[in-house]
Chain A
Amino acid sequence: MALTMSQAFCGHASSSQISYIVSVASQVTISGEQHCGKCFFSAVPCVPRDFHGTWNPRYISIEKPQFRFRCALKDPAESNFFTATANVQTLELPLAPEKGAFKSRFADDEPRKGSDILVEALEREGVTDVFAYPGGASMEIHQALTRSNTIRNVLCRHEQGEVFAAEGYARASGKVGVCIATSGPGATNLVTGLADALLDSTPIVAITGQVPRRMIGTDAFQETPIVEVTRSITKHNYLILNIEDIPRVIREAFFLAASGRPGPVLVDIPKDVQQQMSIPDWGQPMKLHGYLERLPKPPLFSQLEQIIRLIVGSRRPVIYCGGGCMNSSKELREFVDLTGIPVTTTFMGLGVFPSSDDRCLRMLGMHGTVYANYSVDKADLLLAFGVRFDDRVTGKLETFASRASIVHIDLDPAEIGKNKQPHVSLCADVQLALQGINHLIKSQNLSFDFSAWMKELNEQKTKWPLSYPQDEDFISPQEAIEVLYDVTQGNAIIATGVGQHQMWAAQWFKYDKPRQWLSSGGLGSMGFGLPAALGAAVTNPGVPVVDIDGDGSFLMNVQELATICVEQLPVKIMILNNQHLGMVVQWEDRFYKGNRAHTYLGDPRNEEAIFPDFLKMAEGCKIPSARVKRKSDLRSAIELMLETPGPYLLDVIVPHQEHVLPMIPSGGSFNDIITEGDGRRIY
């Protein structure tokens, strides 16, 4: 939804619909025809452009940035630059929605139930799909949802499934995912998903019912103090005690979820507030002054010049980008085209830079490629864009990028300097920063030559490629993923559980576009795959949605098979079934002398048979399924899976002795990297 601005940041008046380049939030995509067309800097930092609803961000008061900038006209007819003085108008943001743009089902003076006000507030935010599971305290909301004409509910069979589905929806589409649960046990089942969303910065809004206000605090039936429980695992949460607050709180919740560093927001609504009748005031302003003031401002040219000077002076630079670059893929590609610097992505950043590109060094970190970790180890300039120096990437902090000057650009000021002290830091949106840097490079006509460094890295690529031992008969799990990539040509949305299959899916499937890779990174919660895939399928992506799962992870949220059957969501489930908890088995093999401690997931009384029988489970949910054991059958089985319309389950039997390689043990440095071996040896 584009928003109108009377005058763009740079002073160019334009009558066309302008959406300013805002950062971070999940919604932002910059398309040339939609912004001023003449310059690229925006006035309003970190506010979602596509912020649903009727609010008009025309006015926001910010301090005047103290710089002047050149504005390159995009119109090819104008061949010369002109300098636009940055007499930036202070734009005032009225933090309240504009009236008149939304058609309500109710008359203006008609009193209606709190639950209807809630549902209308969701409609005003532009929500079209929710994942809700009814219960005593949230029944009113479900009744109101039936009265809504625009919101569709996907009924997942467990609240954990619904919150993961909301996450998959948010990660795949960039919009805010919404899930609704009841009080008590329904709300506590959301906890894992909220923690996962916080660690991976996924924008979701969770709405929970609560017992009536007079019963709060009395250990009532199905009462849990969910606001207290989720305080540290949500970005913010609300307990609505006054029906008048509902419009404002929902607007604030969506705004907080989507702006700045995205995160989960929980809204708890007691049942008597849902049933109360009232006339809502949709024009209430948000009360987020402290937060808005603290949103990072657009970067200054002086800061960007400093970074460019460092790039000019370096001989072995590397870009280390991650989940914070999800909206900056285009700018990042342009930057790499201009400079030729090799790119390595983190687990969360897969797809931000096309993996099939020559300059992409694939994933780095504990299970990253040797050449990616080599490049960071030997680099003299580390450009960290939208990353947080997580321990899975860095290993031992002292030896990580020990020879490099570190440039850290991140939106969250708390992440800068948290783990590794950067030499140059910039707290700003990566998209704006990269746009500025690209503009500066182009205007100064700089050229860079890192071909010697690229040659060195290409040598490492040929010396230490990703590899796995081939077998005549058995299907290697890595091969299954390679064949899937081949058949889909990389055009698929991949969701995974957690474990060995997740690491292989990250290594062997090449992601060329952002928002293709849905996986639980920070929290690493098993059972993420199937619900996330179904959430992504709800967004109608136009490409097949494949859930590459492990037998352990799949079993954790197996109830969602019922959901995908009923909703006929075309989710293809490919289970890499090794009858074990693969990743733990690998660690047992390497560090605990192969002592199996509760990692066998099959039936110990009959180890020959495949247990549990996922085919029978799929049959019980009316989902076509197949099992493939031989290498020769693999490709045709995967093709059949993708061709069959609707949901499909493919059980791929793989050996459990495979290890994910390369591997840097936790707390290790690049020299500790392990590149060989599997479970058939004793360590």
Chain B
Amino acid sequence: MNVTSTPESDEETSRSGSWLVDGGLPSPSYELPSKGDVYPVEPNEDEVWRFPVLDPDWGQVEDDEPSGFRSHTLSMLVNDAPGVLNRVTGVFARRGYNIQSLAVGPAEKPGISRITTVVPGTDESIKKLLTQILKVIDVLKVQDLTHIPFAERELVLIKIAASSKERRDILDVAAIFRAKTVDLSDHSITLEMTGDLEKAAALQRLLQQYGIVEVARTGRVALVRESGVNTKYLGTQELVNKFI
């Protein structure tokens, strides 16, 4: 296929079917001869950018996608030194991985920090990412928590536009979610809520109708469950039936 634009192909736009000229996507059966240094853009190449980073729900990514693309929770221990966070996030950027959330803080031993991050990807791509992170000298340990039972929490501060009329309803919702009021003014309420992803997403969805002014989320922090109990399955019908 001639990929340079010559006068002949310009004339024969409708007949040539050259995908460069009419701007359409190549048909699936189109086979690019490898006699060129051409890298055609495939329609569904960039999965990573499909999922918006700031979407409060991430609900789509949590479920089991057929391609195996889901959010992975990674927990790593690093030396507490200036620039370490930059080194680690530099690996993500260099290798083309997206960070959905990032939480850093001191770990159990002094001089060591724990970084908890949520990264979308397939199992294989995350495995490759882990080997790359392990190359960073200051990293001590990396663990992918996604497939083992882990406890995860997140702190959310939500500022909702609320006049005195809506205040009662909002405070009711807050009471149900066990969220605390941290600030009150004549036109807004700021709520603080701690919980896992589903709780945070549910609260935000419910409060959306009142008008959310600002949201500040800390990002997921997670630790492995020593008990080995995966609470996700605790609420299913089978288990309930077992105990009846």
Contacts and interface: CB of A to CB of B under 8 A. Distances in A.
A238 B224 CA distance: 33
Contacts of A665: 34-37
Nearest to B32: A667
A667 B32 CA distance: 11
B128 A236 contact: no
Interface string A641-677: 0000000000000000000000001111100100000
Contacts of A590: 35
A396 B39 CA distance: 12
A412 B128 CA distance: 12
- Give the contact-size bracket for chain A: 20 to 34
Interface in A388-407: 396
B135 interface: yes
Interface string A357-369: 0000000000000
Contact of B34 (A290, A414, A592, A668): A668
Interface stretch (A53-61, A76-84, A122-130, A226-234): A226-234
A665 B34 CA distance: 7
Interface string A266-292: 000000000000000000000111110
A414 B37 contact: no
Contacts of A546: none
Given A228-B86, A665-B37, A666-B37, A290 B131 contact: no
Contacts of A416: 131
27 contacts: A228-B83, A231-B83, A231-B87, A231-B90, A232-B90, A232-B94, A236-B137, A239-B83, A256-B137, A289-B140, A290-B138, A290-B139, A290-B141, A294-B134, A396-B34, A412-B135, A414-B131, A417-B127, A418-B128, A591-B37, A592-B4, A665-B35, A665-B37, A667-B34, A667-B39, A668-B35, A669-B34
Interface in B72-90: 79, 83, 86-87, 90
Contacts of B87: 231
Given A227-B83, A232-B94, A414 B35 contact: no
A672 B35 contact: yes
A587 interface: yes
A630 interface: no
Interface string A15-56: 000000000000000000000000000000000000000000
A442 interface: no
Interface string B1-39: 000100000000000000000000000000000111101
Contacts of B208: none
Given A232-B90, A591-B37, A665-B35, A414 B135 contact: yes
Contacts of B36: 591, 665
B164 interface: no
B132 interface: yes
Nearest to A227: B83
Contacts of B94: 232
A521 interface: no
A256 B137 CA distance: 9
Contacts of B135: 412, 414
Contacts of B137: 235-236, 256, 288, 290-291
A591 B86 CA distance: 41
A593 interface: yes
Given A290-B141, A418-B128, 9 more contacts: A231-B90, A290-B79, A290-B139, A414-B131, A590-B35, A591-B37, A665-B35, A665-B36, A667-B39
Nearest to A667: B34
A413 interface: yes
A291 B137 CA distance: 6
Contacts of B90: 231-232
Nearest to B2: A593
A43 B35 CA distance: 50
Nearest to B136: A236
A236 B138 CA distance: 9
A231 B87 CA distance: 7
A289 B127 CA distance: 23
Contacts of B141: 290
A236 B131 CA distance: 16
Nearest to B135: A414
Contacts of A288: 137
Contacts of A294: 134
